[in-house]
């Protein structure tokens, strides 16, 4: 096991840890530790909500979750000798749950507090608890489902430069200004509430707290991309924007479906991740990797090969309004079609929604040019059910 360079105590909030992590993106958050290219190390992580969700059957913690607190991240790690313009090469050697905390949660956020991809159909908070049995997950809240998790960090990224951070804040503020009162909001802007900034203090803390970008969206630095296939064995090439790269990680998922459609979102858990870092000097220009990470997926995902696939196109399913090649509507319809189907084989709509959020489902952009309809698909591995869910002639 590589040396643990970032430790957490599950009984404490992130700001009370011996070396606190952070929950905003900012180049001036101090490094929690430093490593050399070629080194492997372990980082421990709290769950993304900083321990707000309990292992019980009551979704009120989901309903009232403090979203200013998310995502609590471990790091940043300063990688010695790495400069802006380089590519930081990060291998995800392994990811796991803590041995005394082998459960996770999935939640549907309430419309008033976060929402989700199908928020208009599922406006109320819900929760499912998942138990880990080795490689498998099961939930007492969702019967006859068991699957091998595709374990991964929902969030991994490097620090932005000051210029990049300013650009994020500019463009996201402009978006919010289009409809500032929207519920849920169009974006989360810098907000000093519930901020954690490592060891920063005093004036510096106040300044960075006001400027720091929220960790919710994925951006040029990677961040909260929630890519389920960025799992064990993957190699990521990050563009580097600051000296030392300042790599942070968190939001570990035992499993997640493509899209993370319930928002909360995969099977969320605290845990550990083993990383190896290296550098390609001057790699950003050499490989034109300027604005988002590139990666090679790992070789250890579950080998599910039989699927039931649902299609959706760009027509609003309640109003009948036709949109132009809108992949969001198409994917939403594919998900709603899947939920409608799963209701005929014994699940509630909420259970079906949470299956799509947690199991290793595949969400694809099938056709994106056939005006005016995009076609998206969502594919459910049939082997995750302990019963035959296929359509039958009799």
CA 122 to chain centre: 20
Beta carbon of residue 80, minimum distance to its own copies (angstroms, whole number): 17
Q: Which of 41, 122, 205, 295 touches its own copies by CB under 8 A?
A: 295
- Piece of the chain touching its own copies by CB under 8 A; list 5-13, 46-54, 198-206, 314-322: 314-322
Q: How many amino acids of this chain bind its own copies (CB under 8 A)?
A: 128
Beta carbon of residue 83, minimum distance to its own copies (angstroms, whole number): 15
Tokens 């929402």 -> residue? 115
175, 239 contact by CB (below 8 A): no
Of residues 21 and 293, the one with the C-beta less far from its own copies: 293
- Piece of the chain touching its own copies by CB under 8 A; list 22-30, 75-83, 170-178, 190-198: 170-178
Q: Which of 28, 260, 268, 350 touches its own copies by CB under 8 A?
A: 260
The residues in 6-35 that bind its own copies, with binding defined as CB under 8 A, are none
Beta carbon of residue 102, minimum distance to its own copies (angstroms, whole number): 6
The residues in 337-366 that bind its own copies, with binding defined as CB under 8 A, are 337, 340-341, 343-344, 362-366
Beta carbon of residue 20, minimum distance to its own copies (angstroms, whole number): 23
The residues in 269-288 that bind its own copies, with binding defined as CB under 8 A, are 274, 276, 278, 280, 283, 286-288
Q: Which of 44, 63, 94, 211 touches its own copies by CB under 8 A?
A: 94
The answer to the question of residue 309 lying near its own copies (CB under 8 A) is yes
Q: Which of 39, 233, 243, 348 touches its own copies by CB under 8 A?
A: 233
Closest-CA residue to 212 (of 19, 23, 9): 23
Helix (H) / strand (E) containing 219: strand 218-219
Residues in the chain: 394
360, 118 contact by CB (below 8 A): no
194, 51 contact by CB (below 8 A): no
The answer to the question of residue 83 lying near its own copies (CB under 8 A) is no
Q: What distance in Å separates the CA atoms of residue 247 and residue 320, rounded to the nearest whole number?
A: 45
Beta carbon of residue 369, minimum distance to its own copies (angstroms, whole number): 4
Residues 6 or more apart whose Cβ sits within 8 Å of residue 210: 190, 192
Q: What distance in Å separates the CA atoms of residue 35 and residue 88, rounded to the nearest whole number?
A: 12
The residues in 107-166 that bind its own copies, with binding defined as CB under 8 A, are 116-117, 133-136, 148
Beta carbon of residue 267, minimum distance to its own copies (angstroms, whole number): 15
Radius of gyration over every alpha carbon of the chain, rounded to an integer in angstroms: 21
Q: Which of 1, 18, 181, 201 touches its own copies by CB under 8 A?
A: 1
The answer to the question of residue 205 lying near its own copies (CB under 8 A) is no
Q: Which of 112, 167, 204, 243 touches its own copies by CB under 8 A?
A: 167
The answer to the question of residue 379 lying near its own copies (CB under 8 A) is yes
Of residues 11 and 288, the one with the C-beta less far from its own copies: 288
The residues in 185-204 that bind its own copies, with binding defined as CB under 8 A, are 185-188
- Piece of the chain touching its own copies by CB under 8 A; list 18-26, 28-36, 53-61, 373-381: 373-381
Q: For residue 281, what are the CA distances in angstroms to 9, 48, 286, 291, 347?
A: 36, 32, 9, 16, 52
Of residues 194 and 333, the one with the C-beta less far from its own copies: 333
Q: How many CB atoms lie within 10 A of CB 218?
A: 17
Sign of the torsion formed by the C-alpha atoms of 94, 2, 244 and 202: positive
Q: What distance in Å separates the CA atoms of residue 47 and residue 251, rounded to the nearest whole number?
A: 6
| Residue 326 backbone class (left: φ over 0; alpha: ψ -120 to 50; beta: rest) | beta
Q: For residue 248, what are the CA distances in angstroms to 159, 179, 268?
A: 8, 32, 17
Q: How many CB atoms lie within 10 A of CB 134?
A: 8
Q: What distance in Å separates the CA atoms of residue 283 and residue 133, rounded to the nearest whole number?
A: 41
Q: Which of 305, 347, 353, 354 touches its own copies by CB under 8 A?
A: 305
The answer to the question of residue 391 lying near its own copies (CB under 8 A) is yes
């Amino acid at each position: 096991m590589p040396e643990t360079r970032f430790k957490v105590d599950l009984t404490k909030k992130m700001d009370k840890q011996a070396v606190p992590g952070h929950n905003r993106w900012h180049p001036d958050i101090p490094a929690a530790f430093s490593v050399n290219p070629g080194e492997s190390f372990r980082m421990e992580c709290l769950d993304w909500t900083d321990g707000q969700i309990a292992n019980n059957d009551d979704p009120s913690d989901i309903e009232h979750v403090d979203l200013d607190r998310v995502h609590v991240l471990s790091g940043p790690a300063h990688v010695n000798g790495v400069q802006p313009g380089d590519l930081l090469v990060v291998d995800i050697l392994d990811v796991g749950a803590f041995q005394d905390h082998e459960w996770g949660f999935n939640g549907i956020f309430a419309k008033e507090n976060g929402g989700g991809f199908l928020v208009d159909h599922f406006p109320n908070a819900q929760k499912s608890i998942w138990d880990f049995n080795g490689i498998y997950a099961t939930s007492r809240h969702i019967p006859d489902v068991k699957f091998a998790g595709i374990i991964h960090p929902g969030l991994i990224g490097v620090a932005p430069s000051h210029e990049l951070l300013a650009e994020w804040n500019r463009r996201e503020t402009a978006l919010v200004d289009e409809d500032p009162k929207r519920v849920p909001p169009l974006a989360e802007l810098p907000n000093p509430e519930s901020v954690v900034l490592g060891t920063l203090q005093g004036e510096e803390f106040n300044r960075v707290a006001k400027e720091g970008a929220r960790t919710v969206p994925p951006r040029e630095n990677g961040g909260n991309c929630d890519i389920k296939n960025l799992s064990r064995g993957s190699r990521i090439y990050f563009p580097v924007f600051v000296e030392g790269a300042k790599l942070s990680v968190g939001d570990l998922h035992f499993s997640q479906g493509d899209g993370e459609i319930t928002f909360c979102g995969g099977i969320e858990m605290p845990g550990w991740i083993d990383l190896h870092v290296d550098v390609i000097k001057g790699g950003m220009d050499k490989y034109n990797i300027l604005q988002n990470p590139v990666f090679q997926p790992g070789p250890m995902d579950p080998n599910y090969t039989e699927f039931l696939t649902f299609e959706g196109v760009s027509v609003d399913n309640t109003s009948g309004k036709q949109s132009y090649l809108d992949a969001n509507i198409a994917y939403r319809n594919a998900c709603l079609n899947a939920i409608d189907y799963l209701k005929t084989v014994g699940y509630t709509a909420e259970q079906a929604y949470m299956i799509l959020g947690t199991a290793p489902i595949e969400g694809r952009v099938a056709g994106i040019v056939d005006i005016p309809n995009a076609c998206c698909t969502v594919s459910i591995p049939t082997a995750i059910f302990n019963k035959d869910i296929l359509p039958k002639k009799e």
